[in-house]
Amino acid sequence: MRTPGQLSTSWTALFYILGVFVSFLSFGVAVKENDFKKCSQSGFCKRNRAYADKATIQGSSWHSPYKIVPAEAPLTDGQFRATILKTIDDQGTTVELPLTVSFHKSGTARVTVDEKRRQEKDIEVRHNSAARKERYNEADKWAVVGGLELDAEAKVTHIGQAGIKIQYGPGFAFEADINYDPYSIEFKRDGSTQLKLNDRGLMNLEHWRPKIEKPVAEKQEGEEDTEEKTEDSAVEEVGEDESTWWEEEFGGNKDSKPRGPESVALDITFFGYEHVYGIPEHAGPLSLKETRGGDGAYTDPYRLYNSDVFEYVLDSPMTLYGAIPLMQAHRKDSTVAVFWLNAAETWVDITKAKESKNPLSLGKGGKTNTQTHWISESGLMDLFVFLGPTPRDISKAYGELTGTTAMPQEFAIGYHQCRWNYVSDDDVKEVDRKMDRYSIPYDVIWLDIEYTDEKKYFTWDKDMFRDPIGMGQHLDAHGRKLVVIIDPHIKNTGGYPVIDELKSNGLAVKNKEGKDFDGWCWPGSSMWVDCFNPAAIKWWKSLFQYDKFLGTMENTWLWNDMNEPSVFNGPEVTMPKDNLHHDSWEHRDVHNINGMTFHNATYEALLSRKKGELRRPFVLTRSFYAGSQRLGAMWTGDNQASWDHLGAAVPMILNQGVSGFPFSGADVGGFFGNPEAELQSRWYQAGAFYPFFRGHAHIDARRREPFMLAEPYRGIVTSALRLRYSLLPAWYTAFHEAHTEGSPIIRPMYWTHPGAEGGFGVDNQFFVGSTGILVKPVVEEGKRTEDVYIPDDQVYYDYFTYEKLATAKGKNITVDAPLESIPVFMRGGHIFPRRDIPRRSAQLMRFDDYTLVVVIGKDGTAEGKLYADDGDSFDYEQGQYIHRTFKLDGSKLTSTDAEGRDTAAIKEGSWLQNMHDVAVDKVIVVGAPSSWASKKEVQLEAEGKQSTVKVEYFKGEGKRAPFVIVGRVGARIGADWTIEIA
């Protein structure tokens, strides 16, 4: 959210803790990478990189020390079970590692490796720690919700002394070839190898071993200290350098490591795949870079360790606020993926190797293999394999496994106005009035931490927010909502019932001694709710009841920040790894899931805040993990008011979408700093196409609500906002697709056009859902033209002018991009819905009529969908929704139920009844054929009745395509109808 180095001098509540923050004042105005670990400073990452280096140096002579003992019953009911033996010394001593390979009806395969001795709790934990002896095995309880039904029809096609081959999946198209010595698994689709586990023999599971105290040799007088070793020399001492086995220090904090070294690492090679995507969150390109140095490559692995990183570095593998360990590999017409289910700190190395079978080809025409190396500090070696073959297949299967994005309240996809901080309830009401005065639509205004009484959550500042109910009622009268922030740190102070209850009920995170952990955050001395504990969730839910959290109303919603968790005086600004959570799991085991547990607790709390209430929650989170998409929205954190950060936002949001968490956005205008008017205008134009659309600013930034801009910039921003609102029906339909299919809401070129190789590296433009709307935000200062990549040979039109673009498949075109406009285009063959009456909020548009925009494709057809429900409740789960398919075939335009339901048989609730009065106002057909020029009326058949509707034809002029406007149509939006134009 912000940096402790930028505390406002007006924050008298924090003066008494400033001494504690002295060491943090060096944070300044930009993140210092030295405050966060590099791989060389992370013991387990350094060890495993050295292990990989040793294997590479030895080349073909390297032999992985892992082999399978052939199982007596190799495959039972869709599961292969065996034991991997790890040889740990020259005498042949082995460690037993239970292996389970599960084949699911969904087409996924799961590979899990554990450690027998730890399964049986047959180890000693040092320092009298209460930490669990097992490897953490509960990540799936948080991340996985389905898709685990075993494929009992999976079959063995070959078994021998060297290994076993198992076919599974749809039509037995998938195959797992399990090699015994050395252990590896090769996954094939239609007989072709797609990826291989332990391909390069880099698998490394650090088994438990007792610490043996070694005598320290006395130095002779004058003898030089030879203990210090360089990173390079560590390659020669793999398995022997114990310097980071038993304890580790960073930034003055010591990690006691009561179980010693316990990392898991595995190399995975994607054969013939040059592009890989995913593993958010990082501020870099969509197509992931190599990480072992070289031209344009990073030198450190991608890191996944949820952290409070402010004003983050761009184009970097540095960790940010969330972690989704899902990686997709893509080549022309083929996509596969791996989901590495581990909640501990994780690093991922990526290299690419050119392969050529023809020794005379000199590398030309050879395929590229992407080699990855996954390294986690603790836990199981647990991963899922997806064999596609399309990006849509991956998204669907991953959504079935971890859940799809929550169906949001409709207001949540409107515009959110935020800053740190609106200073009073009068300030909030004045902002609301001015937004109306300048006819600027918005749905939500937000309050940061200053609304509380001395940073005590569930309270209000009695001087500045004297009447929160009156403030909420003022907003409600305009159809608007309020979001307030509540973070996981609870102020440790007397006379505060929340901290008293947290302590007395034993619901706080514990330190390594088992006592309540006390750290420092915004309130000063704080304790953290342990939301891994079901009792803590139950208690947390009680705090949000309307009669408990006084001042909140039905239009009050929530923002969870700082939930990585951020601990100002902790190692890397987070919690010590040897802290203890519910059931005695160490924090190191669960760190990346921690933020999701807090997000989940708040989501559960907002489902019902009074008896009889059940509504869709809205909760924004900063920290996240796989599965967080089920709970709400995220944003990309503490960005800067700079053109570079504007440019970085779209690749980050696209990456969130293809990684299963599409309800995402970036702070419009940049959190830190003061954007000039052009930057702010361009950012609103881009933000109008973020799934989550919020303007936000730092406490030290100048006020920059849209109405404060001078003309022409205020008008430009207002136009961008109105464009967003007119397209809300299309956005809501895209969210429904994400909810039901797991698909991204804004879609990169490789996802929509998996055969168009020129688009695989394109990450600065996107399609909105299935609408055919193509967007290319302008992200460079002073730029007035844009180059747009066209992935196919379909026809494209300018959204605003209907100009037909001169396009060619796989080529870029240059288009005008004046400051007052954003390049937005319509792809032929699509139909999308709009609502064209300007309103002040989404709630006030709920029963407005619709406009349908039909963009005729080259073959004379077009198709699209509309999904609508009450935008608030869960009644859609009982069939209370409208879901239409619109089709144009030749001259006939039809509307039918998208699911083939008998809508007349649905018992209608109040919302469906009200929708009887909502109709199609008009239909705009772009690219209309000249044969329609003479038409003055068209025939409408709706609900058994026939009528005529006026039609007006506009011939093409210059580059503008011909179009027609049909209307007023008047057909009920939820009914079947047909318009015959010819």
Would you please indicate which residues are annotated as catalytic (active-site) residues? 561, 564, 638
Distance CA 556, CA 445 (A): 10
In contact, 879 and 959? CB cutoff 8 Å: no
Structure tokens at 40: 């060389």
In contact, 796 and 819? CB cutoff 8 Å: no
Distance CA 104, CA 907 (A): 37
Distance CA 249, CA 252 (A): 6
Structure tokens at 25: 């004042």
Tell me how crowded residue 543 is: count the other CB atoms within 10 A of its CB.
18
Mind spelling out the 3-state secondary structure of 811-830?
EEEEEECCCCCCCEEEECCE
Mind spelling out the 3-state secondary structure of 71-92?
CCCCCECCEEEEEEEEECCCCC
Angle between helices 468-477 and 425-437 (to 10 degrees): 10
Distance CA 245, CA 248 (A): 8
Distance CA 183, CA 198 (A): 7
Structure tokens at 352: 């690419």
Please report where in the chains the tokens 């967007």 appear, as a residue: 775
In contact, 488 and 1? CB cutoff 8 Å: no
Q: What are phi and psi of 20, to 5 degrees?
A: -70, -25
Sheet holding 773-775, edge to edge: 746-747, 766-768, 773-775, 824-827, 796-798
- 3-class secondary-structure state, position 439: coil
State which H helix or E strand residue 372 sits in. Answer: strand 367-376
Distance CA 243, CA 307 (A): 25
User: In terms of DSSP bridges, do strands 94-103 and 367-376 run parallel, antiparallel, or are they unpaired?
Assistant: unpaired
Residue 643: burial class (beta carbons within 10 Å; 0-12, 13-18, 19+): buried
Structure tokens at 67: 């082999």
Contacts of 11 (CB under 8 A, 6+ apart): none
Angle between helices 728-741 and 713-726 (to 10 degrees): 50
Distance CA 581, CA 593 (A): 12
Cα torsion for 878, 880, 886, 892, to the nearest 10°? 110
Structure tokens at 581: 């959570």
Contacts of 12 (CB under 8 A, 6+ apart): none
DSSP, res 933: T
Structure tokens at 69: 């003992």
Please report where in the chains the tokens 């998208």 appear, as a residue: 898
Distance CA 917, CA 907 (A): 17
Mind spelling out the 3-state secondary structure of 102-132?
EEECCCCEEEEECCHHHHCCCCCCHHHCCCC
Tell me how crowded residue 26 is: count the other CB atoms within 10 A of its CB.
10
Residue 351: burial class (beta carbons within 10 Å; 0-12, 13-18, 19+): buried
Beta bridge mates, 558 = 484, 619
Distance CA 887, CA 669 (A): 39
- Strand blocks (E) in 561-681: 619-621, 633-635, 664-665, 667-668
- 3-class secondary-structure state, position 616: coil
